[in-house]
Structure 1
Amino acid sequence: MKKSLLILGFALTLFSCNKETQAAKTSEFKTAYVNIQILSDSLQEFKDLESQSKVKMEEMGRDLDARVQQFKLEAASFENEAKAKGPQWAQLKGQELQKREQELGMMQQAMTRQLQDEFRPKNDSVTSKMKRFIKDYGKKNGYDYIYATADISSILYAKEGYNITDKILKELNDTYKGGSKTEDSASNTAKEENKK
């Protein structure tokens, strides 16, 4: 019986020491979180891609808009012309207008797909770059964990001091601006050399 009590006491001592060691290790963790939604909305590289996408969409949409306007004019005059030209003409013209409306819809879908195909890889590249940057930032600054949060997230509460979104955003934008300056100066140097 004494041996059992001695073993039980020893086990409890080891368990409590182990618990204290784990508590000490846990309190040594350096953690933070980043609001991914704010990063995505505020990151200059994403904003530039969005602007480029809008410009491209406007350029591609000009022809489509002109065709849509022409279609609307013809559809508006269809009813008056149908009365004058008879039911047989109205039926043929109605089928033609339906076919053109479907073609315009397909053109719009094709344009949207083309834009998505062009800009999705660029967005994915920026997202990957952002994730790599956060990972490197965490290693460089001694973080054990950096969590992600957004509108719907698994982090329901954290002290504001753990939020490093602004730091990450500033460094990412500074890196992007630095890269843009380097690319701009390289292209300006190439242009000057071509002039010579």
Structure 2
Amino acid sequence: MKNIIYVLIITLAFTACQKEKKIGYVDNGVVINDYQEKKDIEAKYQTKEEAFNKKADSIGKAFQLEVQQTQLDARKSSQTKAQELMQGLQQKQQVLQQQIQFEQQQLAQAFQSEIDSLIIKVKDFVKDYGKKNNYTYILGTSDAAASVMYATEENNLTQVILDALNAEYKK
């Protein structure tokens, strides 16, 4: 009986001494999508994409004019010369398509690189926020991957983190 009392007292002492864990969660999708820096990156690349599309359209129109002129020239030429003209045109078309595709890929890679850097920046910010505010855990959730199935609204740090990120970005 004495042993049971000692065990209960020791158990009670250990549980009383344990520090309560501070846990919060963040909706990753909201933080990333509503972060002003991400919106600015998207706007920058939207402008670049529009300029690229205008350039591609311009190249396409110029090539179409060249096709029409080459077809006229081919009609006036011998069959051998016409075939050479058309082959040259096909090669030029392939080169132009490859160039446009390469520039598209470069644009997409640059955008993805900036977004990846932004995500790392947000993760580091959340980590620092957690340390500064004595959080044991800050969980991430989103509609696509709901790792937090239930939490009270007081544990939702989404807006707090988003406001702090945007404030830091404005500096």
Normalised TM-score (structure 1): 0.66
Task: Work out the CA distance in 2 between the residues paired with 1:155 and 1:25.
Answer: 26
Give the structure 2 partner of residue 17 of structure 1. 11
Give the structure 1 partner of residue 167 of structure 2. 174
Q: Is the Cα–Cα contact under 8 Å of residues 139 and 148 in structure 2 kept in the other structure? A: no
Deviation at 1:167, TM superposition (A): 1.5
2:31 to 34, 39, 53: 39
1:130 to 115, 118, 122: 122
Please tell me the root mean square deviation across aligned C-alpha atoms, in Å.
3.4
Deviation at 1:134, TM superposition (A): 0.7
Deviation at 1:123, TM superposition (A): 2.8
Higher helix share: 1
2:147 to 150, 155, 174: 155
2:101 to 109, 124, 133: 109
Structure 2: 5+ residue stretches without partners: none
Task: Work out the CA distance in 2 between the residues paired with 1:102 and 1:25.
Answer: 70
Normalised TM-score (structure 2): 0.74
Task: Work out the CA distance in 1 between the residues paired with 2:68 and 2:31.
Answer: 47
Deviation at 1:154, TM superposition (A): 5.2
Q: Is the Cα–Cα contact under 8 Å of residues 138 and 145 in structure 1 kept in the other structure? A: yes
Task: Work out the CA distance in 1 between the residues paired with 2:143 and 2:64.
Answer: 41
2:42 to 40, 50, 73: 50
Give the structure 2 partner of residue 71 of structure 1. 63
Count of aligned residue pairs for this structure pair: 165
Task: Work out the CA distance in 2 between the residues paired with 1:166 and 1:58.
Answer: 32
Task: Work out the CA distance in 2 between the residues paired with 1:156 and 1:142.
Answer: 20
Identity, % of aligned pairs? 33
C-alpha offsets along residues 35-91 of structure 1, whole Å, 9 cap, x if unaligned?
222222111101111111222333344433211112234446776776665643443
Structure 1: 5+ residue stretches without partners: 1-5, 180-196
C-alpha offsets along residues 128-150 of structure 1, whole Å, 9 cap, x if unaligned?
22112111211222211111122
Task: Work out the CA distance in 2 between the residues paired with 1:36 and 1:152.
Answer: 10
Give the structure 2 partner of residue 191 of structure 1. none
